[in-house]
Every structure is written in structure tokens, then in C-alpha cells.
Chains A and B, each alone.
Chain A
Amino acid sequence: MSTPAIEIRGLTKDYAIGFWRKRMRRSLDNLNLEVEDGEIFGFLGPNGAGKTTTMKLLMGLIFPTAGTARIRGKSIDDIRMHSEIGYLPEQPYFYDYLTARELLDYYARFSDFGAAERRERVGRFLERVGLASAADVQLRKFSKGMLQRAGIAQAILHDPQVVFLDEPMSGLDPVGRREVRDIIVELKKHGRTVFFSTHILSDAEMLCDRVAVLAGGKLQGVGAPSEIVSIEVHAMEILFESPAGRALPPALAQHATQIGGRCRVEVPEGELYAALDELRRFDARILSVTPVRPTLEDYFLRLVDSGKAASHDVVEAISR
């Protein structure tokens, strides 16, 4: 059996809080996780779930209260491990007196590249993240999205085996988001492992082989994204245009919402065909039928609301 790319055993982090720092707040609670080589692994959870704490523990920026972790078989205390990883922090901030080219050149100096290779790589990766035209602009003049791109470039510049991206889509416009998704997919194609955190479910759905869900510092489960989002379909949404001058049938009218000249109605999944038949009889023009799935926010709100017992059920459902 091959060594997992990331292996986390009982990782726990407590922070001392209060004026006398005598009370402890648990930020991460007994996290156990394995990420296989070559996987795109999503680390999901609402803000404050413990995602960034986990990333920082793995990077050696903070130290665990208990537990251990290994990356490609090397302990996170082992400096050699850092040659094999790339890391994009959440909301990255870099030396703003440097240009993008100088920044990447600076980081490249911590890898064993010669001057010529360093120059070539820096140029190539600037191009890859769409910053070639701004290569010689000081970072203090960069937008948030441009900083994010520079951050991604520094994380993958040295061709690491495992790439950790903390909220990589944050601050990016749709084009930027797509470019980052392409980079992540390309990394996987080259056999790299990508571990990225997000609280946006659609990113995870689109990219991840598996995801882990974290809430309140605890692992809620691990599985393929489809297992999470298909826990249930809330309802079916029908979008239609009603014939001019005709009032909606009473059965539909009470559930329908008018949006401009269009109507939107949500019906239980089992009643979909009956509702469609009704609309056909009414001569409505059906524009779309979409399953309404819970958003990640809904998912977590339900987890919190339904308490521990319900959470346990969900954990079992997505852990299989």
C-alpha cells in the first residue's frame, strides 16, 4: 500500500483565551484524515470550522496540542517536508514593495534552482496565472484577485508534490475562478495532490475527488462530494411563463412567485409530474426544471440545529 499524501492522526488544537489565558478554546478536535496521492481533496466547512487551523498546523505555523501529521511520509516537524509542498495562505499578503517577478524570484531562491532556471520558471508561472503583463508592477498596486494569483504562482512555482490552497477562489472574478480551477485540474493531471479549503460547495462539487466536512472544529465526515449534496433533494423548481392574461390555477398559485414576466414554483419531488401536467393543461411555457438541493450553508445550519444525534446520522451517511 502506498504512503498517503497526507496522514493526520488525532490532530487537536486548543487556544488559551481570556485575560489570564487560563480558559481554553478548542479550535480543532481530534482530526483523523487521510488523503491519497494524486487526489483533489476539498476541505469544507463554514467560517470558523477549523479549516485554516488545520492548514496552519500542517504548515508548522502553529503547533498541535495533541496528535500528529505526516505529509508524504514525513513528519510536519521535518524541514525536508517543506520542499515537497506548496502553500497558499488565506487572503494572502506579500511584500508589497516587490514586483510580482521579484516576489516569485525571492521564493524560488528557497529551492535548488540555478539562476537561469529560476528566471525561466518565474516567467512561465507568471504567464500561467495571468500576471505576465503585470510582472514588473509593485504588489502594492495589485488588486485582491491579482494578489491571489501571485499567491498561487508562489505555491506551485517549485513543482511541489502536495499543494495546499486555503480558500484559493476567494477574491477572484469568474474568469479568475475558472483559471484557478484549471490549474488545480492540471496539477492533478501531473499526479500532484491538491488539498484545498473552501466554504463554497460548487467549487468542491466541480473539482474534488473527495471532501472532508468540518464544523465546530470536528470532522463531520469524509466522502465524495455527490454523497454530501445528494443527501436529499429539497424540492423541484419549475420556471415557466404563463399564457398572457390568464390567472394561475389555484393549486399552483399559492406556491408560485412572480419574477418579471416569469413564474417560479417549488414542488415536492414526488409531485413534479402532477405539477407539470397541470402546467401543460394551463398552456404554460416551461423554461426549466431544476432540483433544489441544500446549499452548504443549509447543510451546516441543519447540522447545528438538529444537534449531535442528527449530525451523527449525517456523518454516517457521508462516511460510507
Chain B
Amino acid sequence: MSATTGPVAINTFREAVRDRVLYNLIFFALVMIGAAIIVGQISIGIERLVIINLGLSAISIVGLVMAIFIGVGLVSKEMEKRTLYSLLAKPIRRWEFLVGKYAGLLLTLGVNTSFMTLGLAAALFYVGPPYVRSDATVLVAVYFILLELALVTALALFFSCFSSPMLSTLFTLGIYITGVFAQDIRNFGELTGNPALRAATKALYYLIPNFHNFNAIATAAHGGSIPFQLVAQNTLYAALYVALLLVAASAVFSGRNLK
């Protein structure tokens, strides 16, 4: 991280901590404790499956809510409150500011996800038996969730560079939901037999990030394994999309008048 993006990232993280964003961890902890106790009593043989499913889903949902709602405010809040004015008078380029804000939120999401993963591990330990080899897949699933959050944050940041927080939220959420069903939408286009619709759904499939690829919750819950090739492919896929979105966001933001 450069000398200019680093302080922005740390400050963004500090803002999240001071604004008590990480308080959601308490909620998550309560859910995991409650689930571990209840599941331990009512399910026979599938405690691990239920706990992993519940834990990873909660990690994903909490992370998504944070990525979208904090992400869309990363730039707009600074513009609205005019905190950006004195900052951009310093020797920092606009793209460096954006990358710093992005990295700061990613750091927040990373810390949040790490704590939640620890909570999930504690719940798994409680329902026993002690950790098994297939639990490593849970960590890969968490990694995929982080990749997904990195992409969603980049989308939110991109939209917040030229639209209001409300619209940015709608756009990001819209793209996320479309991205989750990207494969289904493409299949639907193929089934209709309409060439125009087929071309449109195919174009959409390639344009919108395919979020379905990042969902390994079911595999992890059932103790399956995830091939290294998929890990590498998802990493590269997310990195490319994030880079593209950050470049586009920088291009938009660098030419914007700050009123």
C-alpha cells in the first residue's frame, strides 16, 4: 500500500470501528451461541451441517449488508460532509483516495469476517466432534465470501462515484442479485429460442459478475472438497473485476467537480 492510500485506508477502518459497525459481531455471536445450543438438542447427526450452513450464510449476509451500505457511502459521505476538500488539497491523487477507501472497507470486512469465522469455529467445537479434515473447506468457503465481498464493495464504490447513495444501493443490489442468478438467466435465454433474447442473456452473463461461483456454502456444509483450480479461478476472476471497477471508478471520479 502506498504512502497516501495507507492513511486513507486506516482512517476508513477507524471510522467503521468508531461508528460501532463491528457491533454486528455481538449479534452474530448471539446467533451462533443460540444455534449451537438449540441445534445440539434437536438435531441428531446433522449438527455440523446446520451450524456450518447457518454460520456461513450469516457471515455472507452480514458482510454483504456492510459492503453495500458502507460501500455506497465511502465517497458520497465525504463529498456531502465536505471532508474531502481539505484532504484533496494534500498531495494525494483522486484515484489514491479511492483505492484507500476501498482498502479500508476491505480491511473492515476482513476483520469482521475473521471474528465471525472464529465464532463459527467455536460453535463447531461446541457441537463436537473436534475439528475434522473437511472443516478446511469451511475456510475456503469463507475465503470465497471475502472475494464476493471485495467485488460487491468495488461495485458499490463505482456507483457511488456518480450517483446518490440510494441509487448506488439499488444498482449494487440489482447487479448482485442478477449475478447470483446469472447462469439461470442465461439458461432461460437458451430455452426461449428467441435469438435476440438469447444474445441479450448471454451478454448479461458475461458482463455481470457471476456471484454464483463464489457460493461454496453447501459444499462446505456437506464436507465436500473444493479443487485448487476453482480457488485460483475465483481469485483471478474477482481480482480482474475489482481492478476493472476501480479503474472505471477512478476515471469517473477524477473528472468530477466537487460542488
Residues on A facing B (Cβ under 8 Å)? 56, 59-63, 79-80, 82-83, 85-89, 91-95, 97-98, 106-107, 109-111, 151, 154-155, 164
Contacts and interface: CB of A to CB of B under 8 A. Distances in A.
B15 interface: yes
Contacts of A110: 3-4, 7, 90-92
B255 A82 contact: no
B83 interface: yes
A106 B97 CA distance: 13
B81 interface: yes
B259 A154 contact: no
B89 interface: yes
Contact of B86 (A79, A80, A98, A107): A107
Interface in B1-25: 3-4, 6-7, 11, 14-15, 18-19
A88 B3 CA distance: 23
Contacts of B81: 93
B83 A94 contact: yes
B93 A154 contact: no
A93 B19 CA distance: 17
A93 B259 contact: no
Interface residues of B, number: 26
Given A79-B91, A83-B91, A95-B15, A151 B257 contact: no
Given A80-B91, A106-B11, A110-B4, A94 B86 contact: yes
Nearest to B16: A97
Nearest to A160: B89
A106 B89 contact: no
Contacts of A63: 255, 257
Interface of B: 3-4, 6-7, 11, 14-15, 18-19, 81-93, 255, 257-259
A218 to B, nearest CB: 21
Contact of B89 (A80, A87, A93): A87
Given A95-B11, A106-B11, A82 B90 contact: yes
B19 A97 contact: yes
A87 B92 contact: no
16 contacts: A56-B85, A60-B89, A61-B88, A61-B89, A61-B257, A63-B257, A79-B92, A80-B91, A82-B92, A88-B86, A95-B15, A95-B83, A97-B14, A97-B19, A111-B90, A154-B86
Contact of B83 (A82, A83, A93, A155): A93
Contact of B258 (A62, A85, A97, A109): A62
Contacts of A56: 85, 258
A60 B91 CA distance: 11
B258 A107 contact: no
Nearest to B88: A61
B59 to A, nearest CB: 26
B213 to A, nearest CB: 37
Contacts of A87: 85-86, 89
A86 B89 contact: yes
B15 A82 contact: no
A89 B6 CA distance: 24
Given A56-B258, A97-B18, A107 B83 contact: no
